[in-house]
Structure 1
Amino acid sequence: MAGLVICEPTVLYNILQQYTTYPCLSDPNYLLLLDARKTNEYNESHIITSKRAPRSPEDEFLVPYDSELECKLHVVVLDNNTRTLKDNGPAIACGRVMSAMGSKNPVKILRGGYEDFSALYPFLRTQTIIYMPRELDALKTYPIEILPGKLYLGSYDQGCDASIQKDLKLKAHVNVSNEEDTLFQDDSTGDVFTLPAMDDSDANLFSYLPYVCQFICKKLEENKTVLVFSKLGISRCVSVVLAYLMNFYKWPLHDAYKHVLECKQNIRPHRTFVQQLSKWEESLFGEAITNVQDPNY
């Protein structure tokens, strides 16, 4: 039996936002999100793509028809406000059934349930119950949350989507793309940092790192939510976010990399940037701690 683990709201948010060519939610083996609340509560509003957890006539939880639990990468269960695994709410009861009936990974119980999640991410609430494959392919993905409510990582398209700026209350931006900047080109508030670097072996991020880290730190101190974005959101902006985490938290590269990889599953910083981050690590700690020759980087 896989067991149960608590899932923070930011973890579920990031699970919902993963994408490659298409949103990962369009993969039937990616996520089973079960809502264990009462039927009328679910019908009134629920988290996007969640399914109502079925019950027997005796009010016991059942495995959803055709759920293929053993194939799901993530199984997440929520109720109104379960907070710990010691609670006896419906999410725990439902999660135990999913675990016992074949979930290959630990079943995640959403901390704070629907109440906390919907308060943090109201734009992810819906009344839609059934999604066609084409609708799942077209779902909007939001930037990945690196520091809850503070620092996000995304693509150029996300960085220039006005509705995303509004939903996430983004106030400051680090543009690490070479795309023509249309959304912020008239910005006069000092809340945009443009870092002109190509994603190739000749690019130089290192000389900009002290300044971009200072910019991010200053904006966060001003309580401004920051988005760091590049063309695809997997290399240049990832490298900048890694540099900031190393600088602010005094994390070696391998710890910063582990954290970002837990948030976003498809990061691929260019080899040149990995080498420059190793140099950044040496400048911060007086020595290179992380073995960047490891094929995981």
Structure 2
Amino acid sequence: MYAIETKSLTKCYGKNRGIVDVNLAVKEGEIFGFVGPNGAGKSTTIRTLLNFIFPSSGEGRIFGKDIVKESSEIKKILGYVPSEVKFYDDVKVKDIIKYSASFYGSCSSEEIENLCKKLEVEVEKKMGELSLGNKKKVAIVQALIHNPKILILDEPTNGLDPLIQKKLFEILLDKNKTGTTVFLSSHNLVEVENFCHRVAVIKEGKIVDTIEIGKLTKNLGLKVTVEAEGLKIEDIKSINGEVIYVKDKEITFNYSNGADKLIKELSKYSINKILIHEQNLEDTFMNYYEREGGK
């Protein structure tokens, strides 16, 4: 059974595109990344999965339960952190957490206290006194208090300082080791590459690729930016380079035949500038958006 499974999940807003034929298969017990630029459909996908908005067509299931018909059952086993958090300003943090815990019968007061301590949550303050990052920490505690079977996180590190980000991922990794599935939507491609098992890339409302991080790191080549006298795009293609973009006299391309062969191929030119580094998830992600005019 998949933790999350969608088949041709589509959401349209009149004539405007939301998401189109989204097919996801998130395995139970994995940390699954979900990346794409603003407006690509990440939050729309998540809101549809959570039954905050209804799909126009297609279907989705979370642990075998229909996202529309069995939404209330799904929410008993699910924790969610939205990208933007909003609370009543006059309510104290401890009361918000207590209220959230009242919806579940399996909350440990000791574990809640440990979470608040680790994330440095100021429980005696009112929500209106907190910064964006401190409000986000409260939302994270809310999502974790009932030991959910699955966590859906939409930009959870937005507003958090680096130390708290580190602590959050320590918590998520601990939860994952005990079987919790994590679905992570993020703009931070470094954290996605470091923590996720697989990642889906969404572009203009459609899934364009699903990448297995372990295989990606083994198969990536080089990303090269070079400026050289007489070097043309056709020359790069002739050495099996994949041109990504051209800026003035600089050509940026991907190369997968190794550094030694690259240097030998370029040695015939008078090089003014060259920058070479190993590709990473960010390079792979950017390739989808820099090709074909950035569409």
Please give the TM-score of this superposition, normalised by the length of structure 1: 0.24
Please give the TM-score of this superposition, normalised by the length of structure 2: 0.25
Greater RCO (CA < 8 Å, at least 6 residues apart)? 2
Task: From the two aligned structures, give the one with the greater strand fraction.
Answer: 2
Higher Cα radius of gyration: 2
